[in-house]
Amino acid sequence: MINRIYLDNAATTSLDPEVLNEMMPYLTTYFGNPSSIYSYGRETRLAIENARKTVAKLLNAHPAEIFFTSGGTESSNTAITAAVRDLGCKHIISSKIEHHATLHTVEYLSKQGEALLSYVNLLPNGQIDMAHLEQLLAGSTEKCLVTLMHANNEIGNMLDIHAVGNLCKKYDAVFHSDTVQTVGHFPFDLRNTPVHFITGAGHKFHGPKGVGILYINEQIKIKPFINGGSQERNMRAGTENLYGIIGFAKALELATQHYESDSNYIGDLKFYMKEQLEKNIPGVTFNGDVLGKSLYAVLSASFPMTDKSEMLLFNLDINNICASGGSACTSGADIGSHVIHAIYGNTNTVTVRFSFSKHNTKAEIDTVIEKLKSIV
């Protein structure tokens, strides 16, 4: 087997063997439809409700506030659309560096004439301009939905979720935060966090793909986004992803249990790579608030544009190094990263996102640096 170096953990992570072990009985022995009333169905229904209780306890929420979905995209679509159609939000405030699951949804609702759309200004380091956010809220004549991500998936910038939530409370706005990059990476205390909706996806923290959560604060009531059945307490039709739900709960349990040691280890890797890039690659720069409020698992680096660096991701790939890109250059078919473009405009650089997990090592980073020296 090819010995690959995987540095794209913000895209997806490998499935933890303990999580797979927890899922296996529900792929084989316990296969009943949770909606069935006989013993096979009751067994799987109980497993789902136990998973819900586990997730709720770990996030310090009530089990009735946790809904299982197919992932972060469905969860964000549900929350944003419901805020407009069910909760009376006719003015959406977002940013131009959100994940496309949010961006495309708010753009669609705006184009359909269902809500006004405003974008909050960004500071030079890509952080949200909180003063401008308050201006937008204070100046709005309509009820607002604020949708801002907790950690940016490309550059790692982290939002002060409590500060934004308190602003929303002050102006009676609904607050949705895309927390896909932080659920499973940070401890949450939702009973003491002023937020109406958050999202999570199992595959971001060594759980299975195709399963996520939507937290809906118990103080609000919305209508289903997907119709056709009574699953998820009439909120999300469709036969439940049984083994995905079991895996999500186990992965979140493990991530919470090992948060302190894993986050310290991964954070050390990130800063080791930053140091090695600075020492060995002339002209390298870093995107976002790297030394401030930043996700410990993500490092976004920009390399000067040259004939060699233009093919950087391709060359990393043929050297068995997995990372993802994003550049504000708009030449050819590559329209570049909307995040880099929104913060820095058009830059003559090539951007690579390196994202780390507990399985990466400093030896791997040393290998990547050596390859980069020859490629760049």
Measured CA to CA, the distance from residue 150 to residue 140 in angstroms comes to 23
Nearest CA to 316 out of 369, 239, 243, 255 is that of 369
- Judged by phi (left if over 0) then psi (alpha if -120 to 50, else beta), residue 195 lies in beta
> Which residues sit opposite 350 in a β-bridge?
303
Strands 212-216 and 66-69: antiparallel
The answer to whether residue 168 is catalytic is: no
Measured CA to CA, the distance from residue 335 to residue 327 in angstroms comes to 8
Measured CA to CA, the distance from residue 211 to residue 74 in angstroms comes to 10
Is the separation of the CB atoms in 104 and 112 below 8 Å? Answer: no
Is the separation of the CB atoms in 41 and 23 below 8 Å? Answer: no
Dihedral pair phi/psi, residue 161, rounded to 5°: -65, -30
Structure tokens at 78: 């549900």
Angle at 201 (CA atoms; ends 74, 213), nearest 5 degrees: 60
Q: Which residues are catalytic?
A: 329
